[in-house]
């Protein structure tokens, strides 16, 4: 599902799409991985801002809960408590 950013003009959006089309698959995948890491870093920073008392391990567990949901986190880390994001 595609969506258009509200702060981007149609011309800029078209230029960006054309630039991505010209890239090869590996370059597009690399961009996706960098964007994913940026989003996870931003989410982790938000968790730590809301909960400065969290240790690094607690903040990572809260991020996992955000990313994967309670059911998967409970199955993957059964001995860990759920941490509020």
**pTM of the predicted structure, to 2 decimals:** 0.75
Residue 66, in any domain of the structure: yes
Average pLDDT over residues 27-44: 95
Residue 1, in any domain of the structure: no
Residue 83, in any domain of the structure: no
* Domain containing residue 49: 10-76
Is 16 in a helix, a strand, or coil?
A: helix
Q: Who wins on pLDDT, 83 or 3?
A: 83
Residue 85, in any domain of the structure: no
- Dump pLDDT digits (tens) for 13-31: 899 889 988 998 899 999 9
Domain count, the chain: 1
Cβ(77)–Cβ(61) below 8 Å: yes
Q: How far apart are CA 50 and CA 5, in angstroms?
A: 27
Residue 4, in any domain of the structure: no
Residue 53, in any domain of the structure: yes
Q: How far apart are CA 23 and CA 53, in angstroms?
A: 43
Q: How far apart are CA 42 and CA 63, in angstroms?
A: 10
Residue 84, in any domain of the structure: no
Q: Which pair of structure tokens corresponds to residue 10?
A: 């149609």
């Amino acid at each position: 599902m595609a969506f258009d950013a509200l702060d981007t003009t149609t011309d800029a959006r078209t230029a960006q799409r054309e630039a991505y089309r010209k890239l090869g698959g590996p370059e597009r995948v690399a961009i996706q991985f960098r964007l994913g890491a940026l989003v996870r870093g931003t989410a982790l920073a938000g968790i730590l801002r809301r909960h400065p008392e969290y240790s690094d391990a607690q903040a990572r567990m809260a991020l996992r809960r955000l990313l994967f949901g309670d059911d998967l986190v409970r199955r993957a880390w059964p001995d860990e408590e759920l941490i509020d994001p």
